[in-house]
Amino acid sequence: MEHEAEAGTGLAFHPMDQFLVKPLFGGHEIHWYTPTNVTLWMGLTVLAIVLVLVVGSRGRAIVPSRSQSVAELTFGMVHKMLEDICGKDGLKYFPYVLTLFCFIVFANFLGLLPKSFSTTSHIAVTAVLAILVFLGVTILGFVKNGSHFLGLFWVTSAPLALRPILAVIELISYFVRPVSHSIRLAGNVMAGHAVIKVFAGFAAVAAIMPVSVLAITAMYGLEVLVALIQAYVFTILTCVYLKDALHPGH
């Protein structure tokens, strides 16, 4: 996605330029140890989480301050989500699920700041999160249930003749999980940011400038909603996959 904006097309910049990974301290080569803008914004994400969840809730007041109630509401929402879907025995994995939720929601929100870089718009980032969930859940399923975990693919409630066909479908849908899990998040974030930049490109034309500014404002509002909903969806799907691993069988 390293297309330069062509001169004379009206757009002063390319809408995909915002997703370029650049080294922080000059140069063009990127090795695995090079600090880039991704590194910077991931670090800021972690810092923001620590600020809100650790420092914000340090007071432990009975009547919580604003930052303490944000931390408590986040904790309570994810806790309830996990308990509703996986039951009591899923709560052992609560720290990981809360970490996932916090990381994604803060990365999404920090990505909405002007001139910032949204790390979750890269499939490389979300794929790592999704593959970790996929591997963890698969290993957990085999450790907890042994070969009984394969009952997930052998639907005993279906007629015998139908079961091999269903097994193939279930197998495909199981292995597509990390793909759709990661692309959904990255695609939503990337699409929203690209649309905002496309409207921003129209703002240079004086005749449609008010429309463009209105459209950017509206899209921005939608993006704030999408940032929260996609983090929620990612977490809730993690819970659903965890439930399949803990209690296989339909």
Partner 1 sequence: MEGIAQLGQYLGAGLACIGMAGAAMGVGNVAGNYLAGALRNPSAAASQTATLFIGMAFAEALGIFSFLVALLLLFAV
Q: ∠9-10-11 over CA atoms, to 5°?
A: 95
Query: 189: closest CA among 141, 226, 142?
Result: 226
240 interacts with partner 1 by CB under 8 A: yes
Determine which residue in the list 78, 81, 97, 231 makes contact with partner 1, applying CB under 8 A: 81
188 interacts with partner 1 by CB under 8 A: yes
Determine which residue in the list 216, 237, 242, 246 makes contact with partner 1, applying CB under 8 A: 237
The token pair that represents 90 in the structure block: 């899923």
The token pair that represents 30 in the structure block: 């990127």
238 interacts with partner 1 by CB under 8 A: no
Tell me how far apart the alpha carbons of residues 147 and 87 are, in angstroms, rounded to a whole number. Answer: 22
* DSSP string covering 81-113: HHHHHH-GGGGGGHHHHHHHHHHHHHHHHHHTS
Q: Among 33-41, 108-116, 129-137, 183-191, which window interacts with partner 1 (CB under 8 A)?
A: 183-191
Tell me how far apart the alpha carbons of residues 221 and 245 are, in angstroms, rounded to a whole number. Answer: 37
Determine which residue in the list 23, 64, 136, 187 makes contact with partner 1, applying CB under 8 A: 187
Q: CB neighbours (10 Å) of residue 170?
A: 16
Determine which residue in the list 21, 70, 77, 85 makes contact with partner 1, applying CB under 8 A: 85
Give the shortest CB-241-to-partner 1 separation in angstroms.
11
162 interacts with partner 1 by CB under 8 A: no
184 interacts with partner 1 by CB under 8 A: yes
Only one residue has tokens 């757009």, namely 11
- Torsional class of 19: left (φ above 0), alpha (ψ -120 to 50), beta (otherwise): alpha
Tell me how far apart the alpha carbons of residues 123 and 184 are, in angstroms, rounded to a whole number. Answer: 9
Give the shortest CB-151-to-partner 1 separation in angstroms.
22
17 interacts with partner 1 by CB under 8 A: no
Give the shortest CB-35-to-partner 1 separation in angstroms.
25
Can you give the binding site for partner 1, defined by CB under 8 A? Answer: 1, 3, 16, 81, 84-85, 180, 183-184, 187-188, 190-191, 229, 232-233, 236-237, 240
